[in-house]
Amino acid sequence: MKKQYIYLAIAGGFVVVVFVILVAIQSASEKASEQKQITPTSPESNTEQNLNTNKTQADINQSSPGNNSLTPDQVVKNFYLSYKSSPDLLSSGGYKKDKRVSQELINFVQAQYDGKNDPIFCPANRVKDFIVDTPEYSVDGNVAYVTIRESAQGGKQLYAVELDKINGAWLIATTQCL
């Protein structure tokens, strides 16, 4: 009879050890998954990225506009920086060749641009230092919503940007001045 209790205690201990190992593996897996989803391009917080405009145009271009591995906030940040640093991007039609821009945005700009107004990023909201908030996603995960705001504490919201996931890459579909 005593042997039965000993075997039962050993089996119970074994189950506890296996359970602890499984919990540790699951926890490590979840942390790795979170790190893959939030890939900050700077050492800022995971909820907001302070986007200093000290980057050179070469740094921006190296961010590979059509790269499928970029998150929506990275796509918006890179596009906004290059847009601000290229004043003729709109008038020259250069935005049409940008791999971060969807056909939907191109069609909208063609319909709205009259040579004077800026239907992509209104000039009144342009600031030197800004923050791109962490994206929010649609239920199916194919649409992302990102806000650009002033980098000051509690900074004013400047632009709302919607991105669509097309062929694995996030493309800017709409922008709205706030």
Following DSSP, what letter does each residue of 159-178 receive, concatenated? Answer: EEEEEEEETTEEEEEEEEE-
Query: Measured between alpha carbons, how far is 163 from 90 in angstroms, rounded to an integer?
Result: 19
Cβ within 8 Å of residue 29, ≥6 positions away: none
Provide the pLDDT for residue 28.
60
Averaged pLDDT for residues 134-143: 93
Provide the pLDDT for residue 85.
82
Averaged pLDDT for residues 131-145: 93
- Which one has a higher pLDDT value, 4 or 72? 72
Query: Measured between alpha carbons, how far is 38 from 73 in angstroms, rounded to an integer?
Result: 10
Averaged pLDDT for residues 162-175: 93
Query: Measured between alpha carbons, how far is 11 from 67 in angstroms, rounded to an integer?
Result: 52
Band (pLDDT 50/70/90 cuts) for residue 143 is very high
Provide the pLDDT for residue 37.
37
Residue 16 has pLDDT above 70, yes or no: yes
Band (pLDDT 50/70/90 cuts) for residue 80 is confident
Provide the pLDDT for residue 4.
73
Q: Express each pLDDT in 110-120 by its tens digit.
A: 888 877 788 88
Residue 52 has pLDDT above 60, yes or no: no
Residue 92 has pLDDT above 70, yes or no: yes
Residue 177 has pLDDT above 80, yes or no: yes
Average pLDDT over the chain, rounded to an integer: 74
Q: What's this model's pTM, rounded to 2 decimal places?
A: 0.61
Averaged pLDDT for residues 136-163: 90
